[in-house]
Amino acid sequence: MPELPEVQNFRRLLLPLISKEHPLKLERCSLEKKPPRKFIDDDEIESVHSGEFLVSDVLRKGKLICMVLVSKKDNDNANKPKGRKKQENSREATGSTTATAMGSATTKYLFLHMGMTGRISTPECIPKLQELADTNVYPPPYTYLQLAAGPKEACFSDPRKFGAVFLKDELSEEFGVLAPDALINTNVNINVNTRRPVAVKQEADREDDSDGGVDGDGDDNSLSAIVADEAILGKLTHQSMGIKGILLDQKRAVCGVGNWVADEVLYQTKMHPDQNYLTREQAMVLVHRLHVILDVAVQCLSRDEEYPREWLFHYRWSKRGSKNTTIKDAEGRSIVFVTSGGRTSAVVPSIQKQKSQKPAKTSSSSSSSSRKQPRAKESAKKKKPTTINTTTSPLEASQRPPAIKSEENSKNTKKKTIIKTTPTIKKEKINDPREARNSGQKRKNAPGEAAVAIRRGTRRSPRFAKS
């Protein structure tokens, strides 16, 4: 499944479609096959062609790509040179000439989601996916949409049809519901000792820092500057849910993290996928390692290089092999597969152990508990007089208050009434001939009882009487 590094690479392939002269052209392919469920229809494609929309920018948030389309007619009118007085008036009204141009243009947003097996390809580059076989044919199989802007072109293919291509009038309809981006919004350095933001490392400094601040075993050597975001840290710390489930939720803490990225982050930070109630320090180390992994992965894909060999990424896919073979990581440690966060997770039990951590007590909870204690004591005091000791001596029983005696007298009277009514019940039961016989009482047979007794064998028939 394409995750943030792959989607960032797809965005890079769509950037050449940005043009101020050539409108975007869309063409549906593989008409004999049904496209994905959420797919742009012919009427929407015609509206893009008739409006002569230009691609002004290609955005990404998490695993979602957005192509910003601006009408060419409105864009030309906005870019016309104005007089000096008109320019000054427009700047005073809007603050800048660019804001005026964007505000007057008709804008549409073309969203592309890769799903499980979706990808963007160009004639010069056909990305490889772990789930798909290698192919150098352009357009690749299962291509459903081709995009072109002048001489530049790209295509969208999706064999399993879990992807989506759709138009929207507002950017916030899709981007607004997502959590902060896992790559862009984690690039804020925080000092662990002071817990205040510090300067972000430049690209030259990152190249000099070979281990990225954390060594291969996951021990942090530069905790003085850890990449983290306060909003993200608040969603990761002191949560009862497992950490992997939180990372996979695109609307909770961060967006763009998938199954293999989450496993890689937890492997390098030596955390179990079901670990909960993270401390602030643990969350800061986790976010820092997440940013480093995503940054390195994006750079490797842009250079068409493999990920570092010590990563778990190269060994976790061996799960599809034989069950008898033991899978090991680069250090020779055994890898097991468990279900966490609803997904299959690769775990190295020797270093990823779940710790029993409890949630931190806040000041509000402690104050509320202290307020509740006096009430509990008061209620206990009220309940004490109502308790009755059943194992009292005769002397103590004689000294009981009159209220309790009245209760006992009422109980005794109830028992006496029950005893009085029992003889009447016994007399009524004697009506049964079998009970009368057993009790030894003499009674006359009711009409019809003689024949019944003869049939049952309890009375002799007159025919067998002695003469």
Phi first, then psi, for residue 54 (nearest 5°) are: -100, 150
* Residue 451 exposed, middle or buried by CB count within 10 Å (0-12, 13-18, 19+): exposed
Q: How many CB atoms within 10 Å of residue 234?
A: 13
Residues of the chain within CATH 3.20.190.10 domain(s) are 4-77+105-176
> Can you give the pLDDT at residue 70?
95
Whether the CB-CB separation of 162 and 203 falls below 8 Å is answered with no
Higher-confidence residue: 342 or 99? 342
Question: Residue 271 — φ and ψ, nearest 5°?
Answer: -115, 145
Read off the DSSP letter of residue 328.
B
Distance, in Å, from the CA atom of 333 to the CA atom of 349, rounded to the nearest integer, reads 9
Nearest to 19 by CA among 64, 53, 43, 55: 55
pLDDT in tens, 106-134: 899 999 999 999 999 999 999 887 666 66
278 φ, ψ to 5°?
Answer: -70, 140
- Classified as helix, coil or strand, 422 is helix
**pLDDT tens digits, 413-433:** 444 444 444 444 444 444 555
130 and 1 Cβ atoms separated by less than 8 Å: no
Single out the residue of 58, 53, 59 nearest to residue 23, CA to CA: 53
pLDDT value for 454: 55
Measured CA to CA, the distance from residue 101 to residue 97 in angstroms comes to 6
Residue 217 has pLDDT above 50, yes or no: no
Q: What is the Cβ-side half-sphere exposure of residue 339, based on CA atoms within 13 angstroms?
A: 1
Which range, 95-99, 299-303, 322-326, has the best average confidence (pLDDT)?
299-303
Q: Other CB atoms closer than 10 Å to residue 151's CB: what's the count? A: 8
* pTM of the model as a whole: 0.67
Distance CA 352, CA 269 (A): 8
Tally the C-alpha atoms within 13 A of residue 232's C-alpha that lie toward its C-beta: 32
- Give rounded-to-5 percent helix, strand, coil for the chain: 40, 15, 45
Indicate the DSSP class of residue 163: -
Q: How far apart are CA 227 and CA 286, in angstroms?
A: 9
- 230-347: which CATH topology? Helicase, Ruva Protein; domain 3 (1.10.8)
Q: What is the largest CA-CA distance in the chain?
A: 150
Q: Tell me: pLDDT of 88 over 50.
A: no
Those residues whose C-beta lies under 8 Å from the C-beta of residue 261, and which sit 6 or more positions away, are 3, 4, 5, 182, 290, 293, 294, 297
The answer as to CATH 3.20.190.10 being correct for domain 4-77+105-176 is yes
Provide CATH 1.10.8.50 ranges for the chain: 230-347
Distance CA(329)–CA(218), nearest Å, equals: 14
> What are the angstrom distances between the C-alpha of 461 and each of 434, 437, 449?
19, 18, 13
Q: Give the 3-state secondary structure of residue 405.
A: helix
Among the listed ranges 120-129, 214-223, 249-258, which one has the minimum average pLDDT value?
214-223
Q: What is the mean pLDDT of the chain?
A: 75
Question: What phi and psi values does residue 98 have, to the nearest 5 degrees?
Answer: -70, -35
Tokens 């005091």 belong to 381
Is the pLDDT reported for residue 156 higher than 70?
yes
